[in-house]
Amino acid sequence: MSTRKVVLAYSGGLDTSVAIRWLKDKGWDVVAFTVDLGEKKDLDAIQARALKTGASAAYVADGRAPFLELFVWPSLQAGAVYEKEYPLATALGRPLIAAMMVEIARREGATAIAHGCTGKGNDQVRFDVTTAALAPDLQVVAPVREWDMNRDDEIEYARKHGIEVPATLRSPYSTDENLWGRSIEAGVLEDPWAEPPADVYAWTRDPRQCPDEPAYVEIGFKQGRPVSLDGKATAALDLVTTLNRLGGDNGVGRIDHLENRLIGIKSREIYEAPAAVLLLQAHQALEDITLPKEVARFKDLVAQQWAQMVYDGLWFSPLRDALNAFVTETQTHVTGDVRIKLFKGSSHVVGRKGPQQLYQLALATYGQGDAFDQSAAAGFIKLWGMGVRTTSQVQGQLHARDLGNLLSEVKRLTS
């Protein structure tokens, strides 16, 4: 059997540990690749486990900074939230991992990449499509889609072949995490009527156990990217880490979402995303004060399209590139500060300001200093209502009938 080389996205867990031996048995020379996106794993132990399990080489890369700068911040600028709830944490991490795997494959002379995704989830699409976009010549191997093993079978396979895995007991949940959020599914969560039990949460405190006094944080932005906390310049990694801790301590960031997966099934997901929730909230508040009305309303459509494309694995696509150009242009004046109040599971914007804000006190105030020309309103309203007035004059009998019915109903209700 000839040996071919494959780069495996290696997490160190049961699936990918078994995959190393399974791929070797299929004639593959396996190169393990692990990317740190903020999972707080023992990367040295993972690397050693990969080599011991049979990988010919094991790479570990720190992807935290490029994850935030190249994937999270552009999506924050876009305001991308999938189905109004999910900040896209896992979905944003996969194209970066796949892109880095392609680079390792080129360096190693590999002809394929492999991942441990199942045939039921979204991540398989993200890995496969990203590879197709960046390196269409590379083969994609997905052992879990091919082998006929359930979890118990995998545990037995690992025992039979002397594969060390960190745990063999069935966990009640399936989890994934990075700097932008933590996702939890399976177990009791598969019942959409069941309230998530306390042990689901790891990053966020029960609101009933949060401090009795509110906490405040000021987030500074420059052209739509967060750059400071409480007036102090803060690097991206430290900024997100701090907001995850602060938000979690105050119970902010819990999301219970019944979402539509790409493959056509509905799935109940629990997310913890304190930093993402706070930053998306703050960014929206700053846009509210700096973007013209027409730009803001059209940008809502772009945000929805962006979120859908990221969720569907189309980060590396012509349309996403084109949308990015639009989003970047809209952020030119999104610079300023937002103050947020956190209290027992809630967060509210309580202040916002920017050097190029479109809110002008002289136009908005009803008090002293009012610079608004109220006499201009009459002419504006006359022109604005011209279409309605013309319709009423030409087709007035229709409106008269509708008005008569309405007045009859009002009379009946008030008699």
Question: Which one, of 59, 49, 57, 56, lies nearest residue 18 by Cα?
Answer: 49
SS3 255: strand
Tokens at 50, concatenated = 């990969």
> What is the residue-wise DSSP string for 90-111?
HHHHHHHHHHHHHHHHHHHT-S
Rounded Cα distance between 111 and 121, Å, is 25
Question: Is 94 among the catalytic positions?
Answer: yes
CB contact at 8 A, 383 and 376: no
C-beta neighbour count of 4 within 10 angstroms: 15
In the set 15, 126, 225, 268, the catalytic residue is 15
In the set 17, 64, 123, 183, the catalytic residue is 123
Tokens at 205, concatenated = 């405190």
- The residue assigned the tokens 């990221």 is 310
> What is the residue-wise DSSP string for 287-339?
HHHHS-HHHHHHHHHHHHHHHHHHHTT-SSSHHHHHHHHHHHHHTTT--EEEE
Rounded Cα distance between 30 and 113, Å, is 9
Question: Is 15 among the catalytic positions?
Answer: yes
In the set 21, 49, 94, 205, the catalytic residue is 94
Question: Is 174 among the catalytic positions?
Answer: yes
Question: Which one, of 99, 102, 80, lies nearest residue 31 by Cα?
Answer: 102
Burial of 41 (0-12, 13-18, 19+ CB in 10 A): middle
167 to each of 27, 71, 186, how far by Cα in Å? Answer: 27, 32, 17
In the set 62, 152, 171, 174, the catalytic residue is 174
Question: Which one, of 356, 357, 352, lies nearest residue 341 by Cα?
Answer: 352
Backbone angles phi, psi at 137, to 5 degrees: -80, -15
Instruction: Report the interhelical angle of 274-290 vs 236-249 (nearest 10°).
Output: 110
Beta bridge partners, 402, equal none
Question: Is 128 among the catalytic positions?
Answer: no
SS3 146: helix
Rounded Cα distance between 147 and 100, Å, is 26
Looking at the annotation, which residues are catalytic?
15, 94, 123, 174
